[in-house]
């Protein structure tokens, strides 16, 4: 199954994707994670995008489209893929249509995670992520067993550079301006399904079964 996962910063895109990857083996592709990994490596791509990310600005479309095209062309997706955080602009949505048509990999659903604005800041400011394996935690909503240590791999938990209030507000503003309108485009294609952003783990299984039509463990 091929999915897009959409939602405001802090809506729970990465959290949902990790549940779906672990339980349904759908491959998680997050442009944000790709960029952050390149920044950590100090690669030329990382250095080129660092400033945009820290300020909460979008990385230019051409660069982002090239990366997604190469990941989708070179990867192997036996159970499909989930794009988390892409597309974010009309230009990216058009590019994605072309890429998927060329690769003959149609989209099945666009999952839109809906969350009230006042929850987003609380979620983002309390978020911690593993510096090694990207597992997502929250200091009160979803804490690790040992403070600042990843339960999965023992890596150090850190705060993202772009999780400062100024940058978060910018990310939300840009989402409303440039990304939200894409939902209408996908609604017209009949692809959008909505998930309440207050989801618990078990709600995700019900959602997948009821809305995406997949039985747990069958994929
Ligand atoms: P990206 O990494 O995609 O960030 P984002 O869209 O701002 O979203 P977040 O990762 O902040 O939130 P999330 O929805 O994944 O929430 P999470 O699951 O972590 O992009 C970062 C930057 O990269 C962009 O600003 C841009 O610069 C660049 N970029 C990326 N893609 C690009 C593109 N296509 N074009 C151009 N530039 C691009 O959850 C948040 C917190 O809430 C966690 O602590 C979690 O534990 C908690 N939580 C989540 N769900 C629940 C729940 N159901 N109940 C309780 N707590 C929950
Ligand atoms: Mg994320």
* Domain ranges (residues) in the chain: 3-116+169-211
- Residue 11 tokens, joined: 């809506």
Entry pTM: 0.96
Cα 179 from Cα 138, distance rounded (Å):
25
Alpha carbon of 10 to ligand 2 centroid (Å): 7
- The alpha-helical segments, DSSP class H, found in the chain are 13-24, 31-41, 44-55, 61-74, 90-103, 117-125, 165-174, 182-188, 201-211
User: What does the pLDDT read at residue 57?
Assistant: 97
Angle between helices 61-74 and 90-103 (to 10 degrees): 20
User: What does the pLDDT read at residue 217?
Assistant: 53
User: What does the pLDDT read at residue 218?
Assistant: 46
Residue 55 C-alpha from the chain's centroid: 18
Q: Which residues of the chain have pLDDT under 50?
A: 218-219
Cα 7 from Cα 176, distance rounded (Å):
10
- Residue 86 tokens, joined: 């892409």
Closest residue by CA, ligand 1 atom 47? 123
User: What does the pLDDT read at residue 200?
Assistant: 94
Domain at 3-116+169-211, CATH homologous superfamily: P-loop containing nucleotide triphosphate hydrolases (3.40.50.300)
Q: Which of 59, 69, 71, 85 to mutate to test the pocket of ligand 1 (most atoms within 8 A of CB)?
A: 85
Tokens 């747990």 -> residue? 216
Pairing mode, strands 109-114 and 3-6: parallel
User: What does the pLDDT read at residue 219?
Assistant: 45
Residues 5, 59 contacting (CB under 8 angstroms): no
Residues with CB under 6 A from ligand 1: 7, 9-15, 30-32, 35, 52-53, 56-59, 64, 85-86, 88, 92, 123-124, 126-127, 136-138, 141-142, 162, 171, 197-199
């Amino acid at each position: 199954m091929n999915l897009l996962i959409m939602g405001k910063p802090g809506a729970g895109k990465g959290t949902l994707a990790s549940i779906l990857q672990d339980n349904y083996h759908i491959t998680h592709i997050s442009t944000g994670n790709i960029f952050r990994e390149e920044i950590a490596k100090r690669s030329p791509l990382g250095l080129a995008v660092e400033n945009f990310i820290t300020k909460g600005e979008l990385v230019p479309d051409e660069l982002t489209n090239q990366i997604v095209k190469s990941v989708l062309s070179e990867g192997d997706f036996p159970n499909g893929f989930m794009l988390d955080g892409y597309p974010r602009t009309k230009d990216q949505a058009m590019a994605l249509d072309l890429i998927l048509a060329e690769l003959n990999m149609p989209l099945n659903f666009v999952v839109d995670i809906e969350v009230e604005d006042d929850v987003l800041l609380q979620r983002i400011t309390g978020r911690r992520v593993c510096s090694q394996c990207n597992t997502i935690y929250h200091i009160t909503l979803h804490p690790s067993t040992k403070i600042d240590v990843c339960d999965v791999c023992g890596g150090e938990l850190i705060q993202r550079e772009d999780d400062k209030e100024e940058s978060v507000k910018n990310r939300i503003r840009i989402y409303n301006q440039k990304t939200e309108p894409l939902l209408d485009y996908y609604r017209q294609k009949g692809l959008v399904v909505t998930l309440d952003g207050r989801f618990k783990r078990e709600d995700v299984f019900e959602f997948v079964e009821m809305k995406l039509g997949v039985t747990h463990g069958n994929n």
